[in-house]
Structure 1
């Protein structure tokens, strides 16, 4: 029998290597450059969130609220000129050929309010449709009352399309779309996280898109059930809302999948920036475009939250008028996101094929002699 070997002086290499310990070592191990970058990114998103919401909502000011003016020909041009000459351009007045036409303009979303002048008396009428945004109707009313008081006249306000009883202040459309948008990008994000560190290839991307389509259909129907049969907030439009919800969710999910496949973790941050930080305050859900600052007013209808809110409101309350742009915007995000996700996964495949394998780069190790 061979005698057991005696350990070399000083112990094994692992035993001879000094072990770092203490708070400084733990801090260095925990606060890596990547961790610092993620925390900094979170801080920037938080600040952007505050800046965007406060910037959009801190001082709602009317700007070019579309108003139809119905008056006799000799008075119409004068009233339109007076309204358009108001300081700050709070309204954008246009002469309507008749009272019926002015009313129709409000119901088809060509105007937010209609001013009906009575040439035979001192009491005029303002038609509003608060279902399209109560804050705009209230602002138009305040402007009309101020002008009429200065002219020694009175104004009667008639709301020709108020929100449903279960819709409160007409905010259900916004909250419904908000839920659809968040659900879409969260589901896409969760699917990406569940895949681990492997970059998505084309086959996997197509599978994820197919799953997202099924999820979008289920989510659209579920949302329509909640606002319809459950709470009766937007009742009577079940299948229309189901279809809109499917499109909104798919637009959000496909865009999130594309950006995450293309940019990785940074893509998730970009999705939050577009859909939450910028999309929600500019959507018109709280304050419609005529009350928002120029930047938020300009971008609102180009993002899914704004396009979705407009599509739901105008479908439920205004017989589907003025929805074409919103449909095209949502379809562009859904189709464009799917195409971009597939293209990004194809790029990932090419990168993986072009990258040299780890085995090819590592020289073979010499086999020790026995």
Structure 2
């Protein structure tokens, strides 16, 4: 280790670099939250064409582009569309007033916004409003704080596992086994905390644990594959994908539809966002609408495995080439 004192140029460069990194982190985490507002939030409206059109016009006048309206025939169809994760809520006009169906389990933030919007529409029409929480959060965690708080551990846990595995474990097979073992243990532990300690999750424990395990393994394998193939630049790329972009764009603290376009959509294509959506839909909606997050996580998992295999193959080729060169040199 060098004992030569660092120069002012080195000190200044480090200070500026770290300051830029801090600024980028603040922008990545702060901008989505500051610019959060409803954007094409799926909403069902019960009624005939005239009724749906009138309510849609009222919503557009109040906040244009906030809701993507889907017409349904009756209250039962509206409730089913919520349970199927096709919409976040529904407006059901009737002779006794306006009923607003919400699902706080899908997003407490959106449920609160829909409740306020329904109250405003009812007040404008001079009728009573009734709010039904079709798929509520748990009684122990009514605001769903535990799931929101789990966004960062999911991202950082998978990221740190990928980095630690590359630094400590040698051998492609051994790294795969390590990552799979960590994913299972961490997935079980995280699900146990969310369900039994926080009281956040209410669904089948093993299904939720499987969802958490897949998300953690997919995240860790992505970082592991990138680092194995690219070295330190791979860690940096993984940090950007998982922490700087993946975590703030996950939509776990609000909803993807509340984030600025197209960042909400991009967030669902990254491991933290897909993991959060998968865990939410498994825990509260009996596995509805899990095809996309499953596909996203399996794709990232496959990418990580391929990158890890490619790194091992290239290392084997370099070793073989160096052995041939050494043999040729000794013969000469």
TM-score by structure 1 length? 0.79
Q: Determine the structure 2 residue equivalent to 1:100.
A: 76
Counterpart selection for 1:282 from 249, 258, 264: 249
Counterpart selection for 1:271 from 238, 245, 249: 238
- Worse-superposed segment, 253-262 or 167-176: 167-176
Is 1:335 the counterpart of 2:309 in the alignment? no
Q: Aligned equivalents of 1:347 and 1:86: distance in 2?
A: 59
- Worse-superposed segment, 209-218 or 137-146: 137-146
CA-CA distance at 1:352 after TM superposition? 4.7
1:166 is paired with a residue of what secondary structure? Answer: coil
CA-CA distance at 1:44 after TM superposition? 3.9
Q: Gapped runs of 5+ residues in structure 2?
A: none
Q: Determine the structure 2 residue equivalent to 1:147.
A: 121
Is 1:182 the counterpart of 2:140 in the alignment? no
CA contact (8 A) 1:216 1:247 kept: yes
CA contact (8 A) 2:165 2:179 kept: no
Q: Determine the structure 1 residue equivalent to 2:5.
A: 26
Residues 1:283 and 1:157: Cα distance change in structure 2 (over 3 Å): same
Is 1:67 the counterpart of 2:34 in the alignment? no
Counterparts of residues 247-266 of structure 1 (less than 5 Å): 247-266=214-233
Post-superposition CA distance 1:45-68 (Å, at most 9, x none): 322211111110013211111110
Post-superposition CA distance 1:114-168 (Å, at most 9, x none): 00011x35x2111101111111111122223333333333422221222102224
Q: Aligned equivalents of 1:285 and 1:97: distance in 2?
A: 31
CA contact (8 A) 1:130 1:159 kept: yes
CA contact (8 A) 1:108 1:322 kept: yes
Q: Aligned equivalents of 1:66 and 1:78: distance in 2?
A: 17
Q: Aligned equivalents of 1:164 and 1:342: distance in 2?
A: 43
CA-CA distance at 1:247 after TM superposition? 0.7
CA contact (8 A) 1:83 1:92 kept: no
Counterparts of residues 44-63 of structure 1 (less than 5 Å): 44-63=20-39
2:105 is paired with a residue of what secondary structure? Answer: helix
Is 1:216 the counterpart of 2:183 in the alignment? yes
Q: Aligned equivalents of 1:358 and 1:173: distance in 2?
A: 56
- Worse-superposed segment, 292-301 or 35-44: 35-44
CA-CA distance at 1:314 after TM superposition? 1.0
Q: Determine the structure 2 residue equivalent to 1:291.
A: 258
Q: Aligned equivalents of 1:315 and 1:36: distance in 2?
A: 49
Q: Aligned equivalents of 1:44 and 1:353: distance in 2?
A: 43
RMSD: 3.0
Q: Aligned equivalents of 2:147 and 2:66: distance in 1?
A: 26
Counterparts of residues 188-207 of structure 1 (less than 5 Å): 188-194=162-168, 204-207=171-174
Q: Aligned equivalents of 1:46 and 1:209: distance in 2?
A: 33
Over alpha carbons, which structure has the higher Rg? 1
CA contact (8 A) 1:77 1:95 kept: no
Post-superposition CA distance 1:87-111 (Å, at most 9, x none): 4311111110111101111121111
Post-superposition CA distance 1:293-329 (Å, at most 9, x none): 1132121110111111111111111111111111111
2:132 is paired with a residue of what secondary structure? Answer: strand
Residues 1:271 and 1:231: Cα distance change in structure 2 (over 3 Å): same
Q: Aligned equivalents of 2:196 and 2:111: distance in 1?
A: 28
Aligned length: 328
Q: Aligned equivalents of 1:109 and 1:290: distance in 2?
A: 13
Counterpart selection for 1:117 from 78, 81, 93: 93
